[in-house]
């Protein structure tokens, strides 16, 4: 009886979580599936797969599907080559300021995609600063390249997503046991043989994981295709088009197809990760970076490093520079000549311009808090209990990771366009809350992952030590669990905030007049030729995400120093 | 007066029985050791006493009070964990103070208690250090001070020396023993190291597959092991399977062994230090009740002792001789030697 009483709160917590997660993640996904299977109101097609047949027999549909898959594959190749080469360059060779270059190469992962797209447009677009400079230098009549379409999207994807490969391969290189490499050399292997027979097999899991994640991100990408895609149509942009024209059935089919592709890759990734749960358990000596002795090669390496830094930093510098530009004056010149503070003044003094900034901050705070409220009990149940429904909770919280952002948005629209039993029969479509709900679902897997790691690092013996010293459960929670978990909770909170504050895809589908976020305001400003204003929003986002990213870094470093990480 | 009593305690994990029908009594003020190989159930018993596990059956008494169903925080039991379980975000002093803070009381008293116990474990002046600034031995002492500061009735030590290097382990073992005697606190110590158990304990319980095989003082456990497992686990032993004929043990190779107290028993056992090696032409001494001729297979220097492996028929016997400066008979591999031992050195054991 005693045991049952003690487990009752756990059962209640599990039931509440399952209800919530089914209501806001599974039910919306199933709603979209049902919409995709429902017959057209004005068509004679039988219920069932009619919409799918129509999709797969339509040239437009197939073209968008093909383009999405091609984009995903090319993104993997471009990011794989770039990220892996950069990781080897930074971690395999010894050159000055390696640490600084390493940190700078991580920058793109922290910045909202919408900012990077706009920065690239301002730099490499038809009237971009770099484009015009090269055109002038070469004396060309037109732009030396066409930034629109697949090459442009791929360029943006490479810049924003090489980091997946870079981080994974860097970690892999750092964990290679140097003595294994040395023993291979002692056994007569050449440098090339060591690379192919020792280093590459060790990095294969990291490469496969990165490739899968990059492919999933690539096919679900919306920001770059919608802004610079031009004639290159992909499924995500077609979904928005169908939704805008109120063809929700068509959008549902496209969402299901996109989700299924993503889920297949997600499932393959999970299976692969489970099958590869091995690590070098024996303590080894870390591999030392190889010094470059040839002076010419050393000079080349140093130059390459600074070029890399410049390339990564350039978009950020462009955004900050252009945020001080008088848009009207720049229209007639190649390079901006007049700078002022009016763009920032407009954001902070005009309510209409300030509102998107405030909306984004408010919604992001709300979402970060909500994510923690769900992630903490979910991670606790998954990691620290043996509840039977743990697997369901784990599946539901991780499921949105396999869903493209546009799919999450359409799912929410389909589930909340009529009375929804999970929100007391309310209709959330058109309300303030649907957009933050979309952010919430998109960010939940990230924060669960971080909080879960914190729970894994929360040693049970520490809790037992506290109890053996006479502390009650509440005292143990306050005195041991919270201090141990707090770095992870804070990091999770800040990361969700960063991810939400500049989010564009979900925003494009779900924003209303009451919650127009900064990313939408940026796009609107661009289309209204208020480039300076748009970049001022971008700069604010950069400052916010940069400052919070630095806090995350400090928190994590502190946790690592204390041996919790 | 028994401080800790276990009556018929059983705990299973799924289909695995960690301990079955365990009966134990730990006297007040003694250092009692749970000794056994990994997975024998000794840590499970410790965790049952601490309250982190609840037995399926049986009861646990502390000072005569049934604590079987009490949560850990109400048991008055202090525990030092194998990995010390120090709170990494607190300083040394705050770690030691933790248990006192959750009990309330005024700050001055708490501080003086912390100072007293840090002084006791030799860490005065370490108050403001961070945990990651301490060595393994210092961390172990902080964990000890933290557990002692709340003045528990019983102190539980879960293999606290296993993370220390050999030299530090010897030193800490001695300190721990002296501290326990000084404070007179009832202490239960879990280890798989027979040397630790024999040198530190007032009493030992030897565990095997979830059951207490033998309880007694170190002298009793070492000198009169109840069965082959205890004889093999506690100290080195020549364990020889035997059948009994006419009051003599007959080995599978056909040698006969005379014991002071003959069988029945499945094994005869002789400690290596009781086995004497001598040249073949040496006259027999009155203690040479059992004499064989054997060939030296291997010689190992072990610091204080020299260990020999000698083949006698089908059986390989181990013998140990003191490595003295004066020198003694020192055969080399391949030498033929006389192997002898007294009948009173022969233990007759069950399986």
Instruction: Please check whether residues B194 and B251 belong to one and the same domain.
Output: no
Contact assignment for A483 to B132 by CB distance below 8 Å: no
Query: Hey, of A458, A469, A472, which one would you mutate to test binding to chain B, going by the most B CBs within 10 A of its CB?
Result: A469
- The CATH number of the domain where B271 resides is what? 2.40.50.100
Count of beta carbons in the 10 Å neighbourhood of residue A230: 14
How far apart are the CA of B47 and the nearest CA of chain A, in angstroms? 10
**A470 vs B contacts (CB less than 8 Å):** 73-74, 99, 102-103, 150
With CA atoms as reference, the chain A residue closest to B54 would be: A3
Instruction: Please check whether residues B8 and B123 belong to one and the same domain.
Output: yes
Residue of B73, B101, B150 lying closest to A472 (CB–CB): B73
Instruction: Please check whether residues B186 and B309 belong to one and the same domain.
Output: no
Token pair of A4, please? Answer: 């049952």
**Phi, psi angle pair for A94, to nearest 5°:** -95, 125
Instruction: Please check whether residues B13 and B57 belong to one and the same domain.
Output: yes
**Phi, psi angle pair for A527, to nearest 5°:** -70, -20
With CA atoms as reference, the chain B residue closest to A562 would be: B88
Instruction: Please check whether residues B259 and B228 belong to one and the same domain.
Output: no
Instruction: Please check whether residues B107 and B163 belong to one and the same domain.
Output: yes
Buried/exposed A411-430: b ≥16 CB within 10 Å, e otherwise: bbbbbbbeebebbeeeebbe
**B69 vs A contacts (CB less than 8 Å):** 2
How far apart are the CA of A385 and the nearest CA of chain B, in angstroms? 14
Q: How far apart are CA B240 and CA B249, in angstroms?
A: 10
Instruction: Find out whether A406 and A240 touch, Cβ atoms under 8 Å.
Output: yes
Instruction: Please check whether residues B11 and B62 belong to one and the same domain.
Output: yes
**Residue range B142-168: mean pLDDT, rounded:** 89
**A557 vs B contacts (CB less than 8 Å):** none
Contact assignment for B89 to A467 by CB distance below 8 Å: no
**B87 vs A contacts (CB less than 8 Å):** 462, 465, 480, 483
CB under 8 Å, gap of 24 or more: what pairs does A512-517 form? A512/A430, A512/A431, A512/A432, A512/A434, A512/A435, A514/A431, A514/A432, A515/A359, A515/A363, A515/A432, A515/A435, A515/A436, A516/A355, A516/A356, A516/A359, A517/A356, A517/A359, A517/A360, A517/A363, A517/A435
Give how far Cα A261 sits from Cα of A219, A253, A266, A395, A399, Å: 9, 12, 9, 18, 13
Residue of A470, A483, A563 lying closest to B102 (CB–CB): A470
Residue of B69, B81, B131 lying closest to A465 (CB–CB): B81
Task: Note down the domain range covering B252.
Answer: 236-349
With CA atoms as reference, the chain B residue closest to A482 would be: B89
- Interface list for chain B against chain A, based on CB atoms closer than 8 Å: 50-52, 69, 71-75, 77-79, 81, 83, 85-89, 98-99, 101-103, 130-132, 146-147, 150, 156
pLDDT at position A285, please?
A: 64
Contact assignment for A563 to B132 by CB distance below 8 Å: yes
With CA atoms as reference, the chain A residue closest to B148 would be: A469
Give how far Cα B48 sits from Cα of A99, A469, B22, B37, Å: 50, 16, 11, 18
Q: How far apart are CA B35 and CA A79, in angstroms?
A: 57
**Residue range B140-148: mean pLDDT, rounded:** 92
Contact assignment for B132 to A2 by CB distance below 8 Å: no
Instruction: Please check whether residues B270 and B325 belong to one and the same domain.
Output: yes
How far apart are the CA of A270 and the nearest CA of chain B, in angstroms? 28
Residue with tokens 């029908």: B21
Give the domains, in start order, of chain A with CATH numbers: 9-36+323-565 (1.10.3720.10), 72-234+282-314 (1.10.3720.10)
Residue of A464, A469, A480 lying closest to B150 (CB–CB): A469
Q: Taking all residues of chain B, what is their mean pLDDT, rounded to a whole number?
A: 90
- The CATH number of the domain where B57 resides is what? 3.40.50.300
Query: Hey, of A6, A464, A468, A490, which one would you mutate to test binding to chain B, going by the most B CBs within 10 A of its CB?
Result: A468
With CA atoms as reference, the chain A residue closest to B145 would be: A469
- The one-character DSSP state at B48 is H
- The one-character DSSP state at B206 is E
With CA atoms as reference, the chain B residue closest to A459 would be: B85
Instruction: Please check whether residues B88 and B158 belong to one and the same domain.
Output: yes
How many folded domains does chain B comprise? 2
**Residue range B4-17: mean pLDDT, rounded:** 92
pLDDT at position A284, please?
A: 57
Contact assignment for B85 to A461 by CB distance below 8 Å: yes
Contact assignment for B73 to A471 by CB distance below 8 Å: yes
- The one-character DSSP state at A26 is I
Q: Pick from B62, B45, B49, B35: which is nearest to B11 by CA? A: B45
Query: Hey, of B68, B84, B88, which one would you mutate to test binding to chain A, going by the most A CBs within 10 A of its CB?
Result: B88
Edge-to-edge strand order for the sheet containing B347-349? B238-241, B267-270, B347-349
Q: How far apart are CA B82 and CA B190, in angstroms?
A: 10
How many DSSP H helices and E strands does chain A contain?
28, 2
Which residue, of B217, B232, B247, is where some domain finishes?
B232
- Interface list for chain A against chain B, based on CB atoms closer than 8 Å: 2, 459, 461-462, 464-472, 475, 479-480, 483-484, 561-564
pLDDT in single tens digits along all 565 residues of chain A: 444 566 788 889 899 999 999 999 999 999 999 999 887 654 455 557 888 988 999 998 899 999 999 999 999 999 999 999 999 888 888 888 888 888 889 888 777 888 888 889 889 988 888 998 999 999 888 888 888 899 999 999 999 899 989 988 888 888 787 777 777 777 777 777 878 887 888 888 888 888 988 999 999 999 999 989 888 999 999 999 999 998 888 999 999 999 999 989 888 887 877 665 444 444 556 677 777 878 888 888 888 888 888 988 999 999 999 899 887 777 677 788 788 889 999 999 998 999 999 999 999 999 999 999 999 999 988 888 888 888 899 899 988 988 999 999 999 999 999 898 888 888 888 899 999 999 999 999 989 988 888 888 888 889 899 999 989 888 888 888 888 888 888 888 988 998 899 899 999 999 999 999 999 999 999 888 888 899 999 999 888 888 887 887 777 666 655 544 3
Instruction: Please check whether residues B221 and B89 belong to one and the same domain.
Output: yes
Q: Say how many CA atoms lie within 13 Å of A417 toward its Cβ.
A: 14
Contact assignment for B73 to A470 by CB distance below 8 Å: yes
pLDDT at position A147, please?
A: 84
Q: How far apart are CA A243 and CA A231, in angstroms?
A: 19
Which residue, of B215, B232, B249, is where some domain finishes?
B232
Contact assignment for A467 to B71 by CB distance below 8 Å: yes
How far apart are the CA of A434 and the nearest CA of chain B, in angstroms? 40
Number of Cβ pairs closer than 8 Å across A and B? 75
Contact assignment for A469 to B147 by CB distance below 8 Å: yes
Whether this model's ipTM surpasses 0.95 comes out as no
Which residue, of B188, B204, B232, is where some domain finishes?
B232
**Residue range B211-228: mean pLDDT, rounded:** 91
Q: What does the radius of gyration of chain B's CA atoms come to, in whole angstroms?
A: 24
Q: How far apart are CA B91 and CA B133, in angstroms?
A: 10
pLDDT at position A190, please?
A: 78
Contact assignment for A465 to B85 by CB distance below 8 Å: yes
With CA atoms as reference, the chain A residue closest to B133 would be: A562
Contact assignment for A484 to B89 by CB distance below 8 Å: yes
pLDDT at position A408, please?
A: 95
Contact assignment for A468 to B79 by CB distance below 8 Å: yes
Q: How far apart are CA A79 and CA A165, in angstroms?
A: 7
pLDDT at position A48, please?
A: 73
Among the ranges given (A153-167, A353-367, B197-211, B282-296), the one the predictor scored with the smallest mean pLDDT: B282-296
How far apart are the CA of B130 and the nearest CA of chain A, in angstroms? 9
Instruction: Please check whether residues B115 and B45 belong to one and the same domain.
Output: yes
Is the pLDDT at B281 greater than 60? The verdict is: yes
Instruction: Please check whether residues B106 and B174 belong to one and the same domain.
Output: yes
Contact assignment for B72 to A467 by CB distance below 8 Å: yes
């Amino acid at each position: 009886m005693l045991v049952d009483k003690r487990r009752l709160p756990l059962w209640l917590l599990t039931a509440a979580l399952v209800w919530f997660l089914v209501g806001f993640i599974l039910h919306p996904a199933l709603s979209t599936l049902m919409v995709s299977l429902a017959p057209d109101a004005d068509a004679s097609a039988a219920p069932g797969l009619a919409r799918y047949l129509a999709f797969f027999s339509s040239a437009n549909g197939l073209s968008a599907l093909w383009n999405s898959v091609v984009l995903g594959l090319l993104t993997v190749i471009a990011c794989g080559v770039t990220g892996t080469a950069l990781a080897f360059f930074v971690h395999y060779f010894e050159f000055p300021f390696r640490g600084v270059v390493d940190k700078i190469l991580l920058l793109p992962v922290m910045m909202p995609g919408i900012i990077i797209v706009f920065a690239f447009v301002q730099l490499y677009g038809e009237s971009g600063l770099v484009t015009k400079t090269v055109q002038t230098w070469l004396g060309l009549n037109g732009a030396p390249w066409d930034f629109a379409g697949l090459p442009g999207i791929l360029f943006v994807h490479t810049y924003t997503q090489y980091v997946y490969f870079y981080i994974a391969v860097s970690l892999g290189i750092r964990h290679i046991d140097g003595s294994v490499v040395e023993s291979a050399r002692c056994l007569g292997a050449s440098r090339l043989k060591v690379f192919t027979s020792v280093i590459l097999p060790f990095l294969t899991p990291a490469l496969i994981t990165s490739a899968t994640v990059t492919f999933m991100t690539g096919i679900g990408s919306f920001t770059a295709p919608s802004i610079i895609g031009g004639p290159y149509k992909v499924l995500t942009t077609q979904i928005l088009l169908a939704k805008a024209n109120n063809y929700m059935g068509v959008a549902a089919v496209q969402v299901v197809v996109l989700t299924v592709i993503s889920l297949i890759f997600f499932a393959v990734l999970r299976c692969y990760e489970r099958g590869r749960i091995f690590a070098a358990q024996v303590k080894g000596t870390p591999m030392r970076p190889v010094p470059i002795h040839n002076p010419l090669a050393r000079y080349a390496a140093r130059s390459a490093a600074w070029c890399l830094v410049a390339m990564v930093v350039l978009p950020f510098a462009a955004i900050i520079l252009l945020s001080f530009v008088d848009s009207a004056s720049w229209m007639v010149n190649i390079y901006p000549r007049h700078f002022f503070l009016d763009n920032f003044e407009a954001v902070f003094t005009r309510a209409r311009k300030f509102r998107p900034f405030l909306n984004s901050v408010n919604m992001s705070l709300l979402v970060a808090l909500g994510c923690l409220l769900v992630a903490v009990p979910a991670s606790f149940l998954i990691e620290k209990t043996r509840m039977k429904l743990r697997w369901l909770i784990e599946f539901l919280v991780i499921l949105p990771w396999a869903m493209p952002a546009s799919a999450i948005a359409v799912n929410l629209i389909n589930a909340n366009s009529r009375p929804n039993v999970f929100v007391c029969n309310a209709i959330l479509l058109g309300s303030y809350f649907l957009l933050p709900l979309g952010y919430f679902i998109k960010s939940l897997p990230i924060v669960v992952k971080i909080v879960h790691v914190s729970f894994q690092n929360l040693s049970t013996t520490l809790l037992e030590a506290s109890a053996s010293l006479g502390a009650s459960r509440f005292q143990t929670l306050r005195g041991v669990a919270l201090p141990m978990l707090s770095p992870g909770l804070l990091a999770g909170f800040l990361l969700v905030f960063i991810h939400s504050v500049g989010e564009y895809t979900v925003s494009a589908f779900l924003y209303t007049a009451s919650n127009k976020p900064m990313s939408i305001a940026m796009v609107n400003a661009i289309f209204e030729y208020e480039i300076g204003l748009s970049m001022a929003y971008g700069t604010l986002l950069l400052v916010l995400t940069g400052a919070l990213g630095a806090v995350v870094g400090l928190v994590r470093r502190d946790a690592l120093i204390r041996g919790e990480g | 007066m028994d401080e800790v009593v276990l009556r018929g305690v059983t705990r299973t994990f799924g289909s695995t029985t960690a301990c079955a029908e365990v009966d134990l009594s730990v006297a007040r003020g003694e250092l009692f050791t749970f000794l056994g190989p990994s997975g024998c159930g000794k840590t499970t018993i410790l965790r049952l006493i601490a309250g982190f596990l609840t037995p399926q059956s049986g009861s646990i008494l502390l000072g005569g009070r049934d604590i079987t169903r009490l949560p850990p925080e109400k048991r008055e039991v202090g525990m030092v964990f194998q990995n010390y379980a120090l709170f990494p975000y607190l300083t040394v002093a705050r770690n030691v103070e933790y248990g006192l803070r959750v009990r309330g009381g005024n700050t001055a008293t708490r501080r003086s208690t912390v100072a007293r116990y840090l002084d006791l474990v030799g860490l005065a002046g370490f108050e403001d250090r961070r945990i990651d600034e301490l060595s393994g031995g210092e961390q172990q002492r902080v964990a000890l001070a933290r557990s002692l500061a709340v003045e528990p009735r019983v102190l539980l030590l879960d293999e606290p020396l296993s993370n220390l290097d050999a030299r530090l382990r010897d030193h800490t073992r001695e300190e721990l023993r002296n501290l326990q005697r000084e404070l007179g606190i009832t202490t239960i110590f879990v280890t798989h190291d027979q040397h630790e158990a024999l040198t530190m304990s007032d009493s030992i319980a030897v565990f095997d597959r979830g059951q207490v095989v033998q309880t007694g003082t170190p002298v009793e456990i070492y000198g009169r092991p109840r069965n082959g497992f205890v004889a093999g686990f506690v100290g080195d032993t020549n364990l020889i399977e035997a059948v009994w004929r006419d009051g003599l043990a007959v080995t599978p190779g056909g040698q006969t062994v005379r014991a002071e107290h003959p069988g029945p028993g499945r094994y005869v056992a002789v400690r290596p230090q009781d086995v004497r090696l001598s040249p073949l032409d040496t006259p027999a001494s009155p203690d040479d009740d059992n004499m064989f001729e054997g060939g030296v297979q291997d010689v190992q220097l072990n610091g204080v002792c020299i260990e020999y492996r000698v083949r006698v028929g089908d059986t390989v016997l181990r013998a140990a001789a003191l490595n003295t400066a004066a020198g003694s008979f020192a055969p080399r591999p391949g030498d033929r030697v006389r192997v002898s031992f007294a009948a009173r050195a022969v233990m007759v054991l069950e399986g």
